[in-house]
Structure 1
């Protein structure tokens, strides 16, 4: 099944609150005929848009191909959380890659946040960037672990922006009866993800990037000059960047064996009253909790609760996404059991076995970065810059990311989906049983 079309109309954004609350850009024309470029970038999410922008600013002639619209995929549908660090906690990274590379990965993650904020400022992107992300825990054991994590970042990574929260201080932020403590990171932030993606696209186009929408890529012929083929045209380019994440399909089987597409879902309530808001979030920060099948939420600028949660193991979205998301939402906020949901949507992201992104040189002149595992707002933006630097011959950051172990999923690209469904079902059961 082609995930580009499994759940969406060709060339249309999903019926999300994000799409309803920001004006789209005028369409970019599809690619027709043959053209040449220094670099062809496939995929106009954060990775592709950032890579194209940074390459154009270095003087490269860049063609950017997108199967639907810019920001159509996970970049325009996600929870909008700009988190600190990598997807894997620093203690886990130290065990995986050693202290030296873990330190480098922390610094790269700090660069990712700074870059995202700088791009928003430089290009005047109106995406409601707001500081603060809290991590919420369900048990005393989880709280102890989170507080140890906070202490580790302060002591070993000189990171003063995160603080430990006991039950009282967590309740002062988020008064859900389920949460008993956690942490608050005020250097992390949240934003309107589609508005951010559209801002990157405007900047890329202004820098000279030739963007073509509704131009799905069907083939890549590798050689001295690589050829990227679409339905109606082709691009010959010295360099190719695959920035497709969960929508890669079969363009490269090495990536496909390591980056698994899964679906996630978000609902937006009607605008909440002041009293309702006070029972949900008492500070305008985003929240992600400690469940394996994570709940994440924040307030919109028009006073809605944007709540992400629920799991689905087929490639097709469920018919009633609102009902799927309402179940975990009501578990966290019982008082919202009858609140109206105005928008509900799904999206496809890419995950990896180690929950760290997969960076790779796939062939001479062909590079890829994907698999952000739900931590992509800053990481994918930064990946685009690292890809541009690598093409320009400055590859230290890219190579550090590429050294992170990236095992293939059991069964490879062909049999990974049923195995993942079994694993995710087990972890979801553990969440429900509180194990």
Structure 2
């Protein structure tokens, strides 16, 4: 299936995921009709847009969100549901590229996204099955050295709450023998990602915010002193525009299109396993991801299903059969699940930046953007939403640090970014298979 696009006519529904099937009740918001004026217009009702909007609404700003489909329709409502601290690029990589000061700055905020999520859930009583703790796993001795190096590196920046687990200790958390050990982070966690989105949207609306759904943006005048967003049904003129479409912004803003590449990842959810069987898989109910370049990730849902994800497709296309792609990996981790019924299988896109570092910036004087979380968007988007809101409110201290980080284009531009990235992924996947 080709890269998903918004329907220009009619209603665009959520993908056929477990999350959509188990979502909390939510209203269908009206499309934008006519011309309106607001202080701040945000494009995209995913985590970045909702985080920015909610922080600004709490400060008293008049904010409207324009969403092409429904709240949480993109990656924010269909991801693995894992709260994993850090960026795709390591602190060591960031130090090597951008210097010690930038690494110190990034280290100061790598756990902030999870803190924001927990605060939002508590303050606004969001029902999203939030659970604490995530585990990184290694399959080889080389992986274990990498995990120990990560623990030591983070400890050198004052982050000392991560603990190494040997094979026997890991067995207390994961009922599988495929791993050599792991690293546990109690400040990570997992939740129902779409219900988090829906709860944040409701919180935003409770403060007077407005969300227009089913309103794909056709054009955004990012250079105007008062930016204008145009949809099929109307326009929004604003003092400040914030672009948070990420992997689904498409061709609307050409200046941003070349900065990121859509990459799809796949997930599936088993039938309910029952308490005993589920607890044997993940006795402490932590979420898990391994540290291979093309990784597996999994967790339990509130109704005791296993959600298992993995794989990447550069360019954002979907595999013909998600279950066929993921089942062998799941059954390798958990042979006891051989032949288990899969109730849901789905795919979704995230935005990959070439440097694997998210990007914040401005287009023109009054248009901001955030994108390129590179698979770490659950926490990063919440942090960047807060930083965007701070900048719009007048404190650009943290925004300026990220805005000054140079971005790198994909080699070969838009035409060759997919094949070049595939070559790179094959190389690192080979290293994973060889255990080096």
TM-score normalised over the length of structure 2? 0.94
CA distance in 2 between partners of 1:406 and 1:258 (Å): 8
Are the structure 2 counterparts of residues 302 and 205 from structure 1 closer, same or farther at C-alpha, using a change threshold of 3 Å? same
Is the 8 Å Cα contact of residues 105 and 401 (structure 1) preserved in structure 2? no
Residue equivalent to 2:29? 28
Is the 8 Å Cα contact of residues 132 and 185 (structure 1) preserved in structure 2? yes
Q: Which moved more, 1:188-197 or 1:322-331?
A: 322-331
Are the structure 2 counterparts of residues 205 and 398 from structure 1 closer, same or farther at C-alpha, using a change threshold of 3 Å? same
Residue equivalent to 1:204? 204
Tell me by how many angstroms 1:55 deviates: 1.5
Residue equivalent to 1:290? 291
1:419 aligns to what SS in structure 2?
A: helix
State the 4+ residue runs in structure 1 displaced beyond 6 angstroms.
none
Tell me by how many angstroms 1:275 deviates: 4.9
Residue equivalent to 2:77? 76
Q: Which moved more, 1:333-342 or 1:36-45?
A: 333-342
Are the structure 2 counterparts of residues 405 and 327 from structure 1 closer, same or farther at C-alpha, using a change threshold of 3 Å? farther
Are the structure 2 counterparts of residues 96 and 205 from structure 1 closer, same or farther at C-alpha, using a change threshold of 3 Å? same
Are the structure 2 counterparts of residues 87 and 315 from structure 1 closer, same or farther at C-alpha, using a change threshold of 3 Å? closer
Tell me by how many angstroms 1:403 deviates: 2.9
CA distance in 2 between partners of 1:200 and 1:357 (Å): 22
CA distance in 1 between partners of 2:410 and 2:278 (Å): 42
Residue equivalent to 1:304? 305
Tell me by how many angstroms 1:134 deviates: 0.4
1:118-137 residue pairs with structure 2 within 5 A?
A: 118-137=119-138
User: Do residues 367 (structure 1) and 362 (structure 2) align?
Assistant: no
Number of aligned residues:
432
Residue equivalent to 2:268? 267
CA distance in 2 between partners of 1:210 and 1:275 (Å): 44
Tell me by how many angstroms 1:135 deviates: 0.4
Tell me by how many angstroms 1:89 deviates: 2.2
Residue equivalent to 1:52? 53
Tell me by how many angstroms 1:309 deviates: 1.1
Residue equivalent to 1:381? 382
Is the 8 Å Cα contact of residues 265 and 347 (structure 2) preserved in structure 1? yes
Residue equivalent to 2:158? 158
Are the structure 2 counterparts of residues 49 and 256 from structure 1 closer, same or farther at C-alpha, using a change threshold of 3 Å? same
CA RMSD of aligned residues (A): 1.8
1:172-183 residue pairs with structure 2 within 5 A?
A: 172-183=172-183
Are the structure 2 counterparts of residues 110 and 274 from structure 1 closer, same or farther at C-alpha, using a change threshold of 3 Å? closer
1:400-411 residue pairs with structure 2 within 5 A?
A: 400-411=401-412
Is the 8 Å Cα contact of residues 309 and 329 (structure 1) preserved in structure 2? no
The Cα offsets for residues 66-85 of structure 1, whole Å up to 9 and x where unpaired, read as: 00000110000111111223
Is the 8 Å Cα contact of residues 4 and 67 (structure 1) preserved in structure 2? no
Residue equivalent to 1:94? 95
Is the 8 Å Cα contact of residues 3 and 249 (structure 1) preserved in structure 2? no
Unaligned runs of 5+ in 1: none
2:20 aligns to what SS in structure 1?
A: helix
TM-score normalised over the length of structure 1? 0.95
Is the 8 Å Cα contact of residues 108 and 397 (structure 1) preserved in structure 2? no
CA distance in 1 between partners of 2:428 and 2:153 (Å): 26
CA distance in 2 between partners of 1:368 and 1:199 (Å): 23
CA distance in 2 between partners of 1:315 and 1:352 (Å): 13
1:205 aligns to what SS in structure 2?
A: helix
Tell me by how many angstroms 1:278 deviates: 4.7
Is the 8 Å Cα contact of residues 6 and 12 (structure 2) preserved in structure 1? no
CA distance in 1 between partners of 2:61 and 2:6 (Å): 32
2:125 aligns to what SS in structure 1?
A: coil
Unaligned runs of 5+ in 2: none
1:264 aligns to what SS in structure 2?
A: strand
CA distance in 2 between partners of 1:403 and 1:113 (Å): 25
Tell me by how many angstroms 1:392 deviates: 1.3
Q: Which moved more, 1:238-247 or 1:317-326?
A: 317-326
Residue equivalent to 1:352? 353
Residue equivalent to 2:413? 412
Tell me by how many angstroms 1:310 deviates: 2.3
Are the structure 2 counterparts of residues 130 and 423 from structure 1 closer, same or farther at C-alpha, using a change threshold of 3 Å? same
CA distance in 2 between partners of 1:290 and 1:50 (Å): 28
Residue equivalent to 2:242? 241
The Cα offsets for residues 33-89 of structure 1, whole Å up to 9 and x where unpaired, read as: 111111110000000011111112222221210000001100001111112233322
Tell me by how many angstroms 1:5 deviates: 4.1
Residue equivalent to 1:215? 215
Tell me by how many angstroms 1:232 deviates: 1.1
CA distance in 1 between partners of 2:25 and 2:415 (Å): 36
